[in-house]
Amino acid sequence: MKESYNWIFGQLPYAEPFLFVEEILNINDKGVEGAYQFSSDADFYKGHFKNNPVTPGVILTECCAQIGLVCLGIYLLGEKTILENIGIGMSSSEMEFLLPVFPGERVKVVSELVYFRFQKLKCEVKMYNEDDKLVCKGILAGMIGVANE
What is the phi-psi region of residue 23: left when phi exceeds 0, alpha when psi lies from -120 to 50, beta otherwise?
beta
**97: preceding bond cis by omega (within 30 degrees):** no
Distance between CA atoms of residues 60 and 136, nearest Å? 8
pLDDT at 14 over 50: yes
DSSP state of 103: T
pLDDT at 1 over 70: no
pTM over 0.85: yes
Mean of pLDDT over the chain: 90
Superfamily name and number for 6-146: Hotdog Thioesterase (3.10.129.10)
Distance between CA atoms of residues 4 and 1, nearest Å? 9
Q: Which of 58, 79, 45 is nearest to 140 (CA)?
A: 58
Residue 146, pLDDT score: 52
**pLDDT tens profile 34-69:** 999 999 999 999 988 888 999 999 999 999 999 999
Angle at 12 between CA 77 and CA 101, to 5 degrees: 115
pLDDT at 87 over 80: no
